């Protein structure tokens, strides 16, 4: 047995000698730490519980880790996210999820309540499979928060439970259909825009409208639709818009819209109110280029 230069010989023992004479060595360990050798070098220490407690007490205590605010993290996510435990109870949700699902997203509520009763068993089964297998699932299913809407759910393992990322599948399909419709209208020389009660252009601006007026890509935000009319034709448009916002029937308006790279475009504009929950919240304008009117009537 080779000695260790920093330790006394009676504090060094091989593992085999320790096992054969454990009673004697443990008496020495009660008085001073005993170093157990492995291949001639100290590897383990045998000491009394009193010595160990004293050593641990002498160490400065580490600060407790700062807990992470899971709700703040979820709120920073733009997606609708629900986190549920292994029993299916909601632990937390993102701001977008709370806005979409309302009280259905409250902590403690059953996560399968985000879908109608008739399909809750389907969602519950998918969640259980994700927990058991540790593999994510994708599910398209009806929404309990929005009648007639469908949800695309990405269900992923999260700790002992799951995280559910929800998208309104119907809204996505409506958006794709709207883009296709806009492209078809552009070919026909027709464009539509939505206006708020102040006559400001709504978002998004249709590609057909941009192409009609030679706009580079998008109309600047907070742009008044009246700004595209010649000054002497704005009063007629603003009067027609006021009638539409007041719920009155309006006759088509023949006017001209200013363009960036070409002379003003003669158009016919039809205005209609946009109603939501019985209230008028804006107007939609259908714009037909004058060169196309004869083809449509």
Structure-model confidence comparison of residues 60 and 133, the more confident one: 133
pLDDT of residue 71: 64
Q: Are residues 50 and 85 in the same domain?
A: no
**Separation CA 147–CA 249 (nearest Å):** 31
Kindly state whether residue 182 falls inside one of the protein's structural domains.
no
pLDDT of residue 15: 78
Overall average pLDDT of the 222-238 stretch: 88
Q: Which of 226, 294, 284, 214 has its CA nearest to residue 255?
A: 226
Tens digits of residue pLDDT in 183-198: 545 555 677 888 888 8
The token duo for 128 is 């259980």
> Distance from CA of residue 105 to its chain's centroid?
14
pLDDT of residue 218: 46
Structure-model confidence comparison of residues 213 and 85, the more confident one: 85
Tens digits of residue pLDDT in 80-108: 899 999 999 999 888 888 988 999 999 99
Kindly state whether residue 3 falls inside one of the protein's structural domains.
no
Structure-model confidence comparison of residues 222 and 241, the more confident one: 241
Sign of CA dihedral 223, 229, 235, 237: negative
Structure-model confidence comparison of residues 3 and 80, the more confident one: 80
> CATH number for the domain including 17?
3.40.1620.10
Tens digits of residue pLDDT in 256-290: 988 877 888 888 998 988 887 678 888 888 888 87
Can you give the residue range of the structural domain that contains 111? 70-169
Q: Are residues 203 and 282 in the same domain?
A: yes
**Separation CA 170–CA 203 (nearest Å):** 19
Q: Are residues 239 and 262 in the same domain?
A: yes
Kindly state whether residue 240 falls inside one of the protein's structural domains.
yes
Total domains present in the chain: 3
> SS3 of 42, please?
strand
Kindly state whether residue 179 falls inside one of the protein's structural domains.
no
The token duo for 197 is 């009660």
């Amino acid at each position: 047995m080779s000695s260790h230069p920093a330790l006394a010989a009676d504090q060094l023992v091989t593992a085999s000698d320790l096992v054969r004479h454990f009673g004697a060595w443990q008496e020495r360990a009660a008085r001073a730490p005993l170093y157990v050798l492995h291949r001639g070098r100290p590897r383990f220490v045998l000491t009394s519980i009193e010595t160990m407690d004293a050593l641990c007490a002498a160490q400065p205590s580490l600060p407790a880790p700062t807990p992470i605010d899971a709700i703040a993290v979820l709120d920073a996510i733009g997606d609708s996210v629900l986190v549920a435990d292994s029993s299916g109870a909601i632990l937390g949700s993102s701001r977008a999820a709370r806005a979409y699902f309302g009280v259905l997203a409250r902590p403690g509520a059953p996560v399968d309540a985000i879908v109608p009763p008739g399909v809750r068993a389907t969602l519950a089964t998918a969640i259980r499979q994700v927990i058991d297998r540790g593999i994510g699932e994708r599910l398209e299913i009806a929404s309990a928060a929005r009648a007639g809407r469908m949800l695309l759910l990405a269900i992923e393992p999260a700790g002992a439970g799951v995280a559910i990322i929800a998208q309104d599948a119907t809204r996505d399909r409506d958006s794709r259909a709207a883009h296709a419709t806009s492209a078809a209208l552009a070919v026909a020389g027709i464009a539509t825009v939505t206006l708020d009660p102040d006559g400001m252009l709504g978002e998004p601006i249709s590609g057909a409208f941009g192409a009609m007026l030679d706009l580079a890509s998008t109309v600047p935000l907070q742009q008044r639709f009246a700004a595209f009319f010649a000054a002497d034709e704005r009063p007629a448009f603003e009067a027609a818009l006021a009638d539409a916002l007041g719920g009155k029937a309006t006759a088509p308006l023949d006017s001209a819209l200013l363009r960036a790279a070409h002379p003003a475009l003669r158009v016919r504009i039809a205005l209609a109110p946009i109603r939501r929950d019985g209230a008028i919240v804006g107007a939609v304008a259908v714009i037909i280029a004058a060169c196309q009117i004869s083809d449509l009537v």
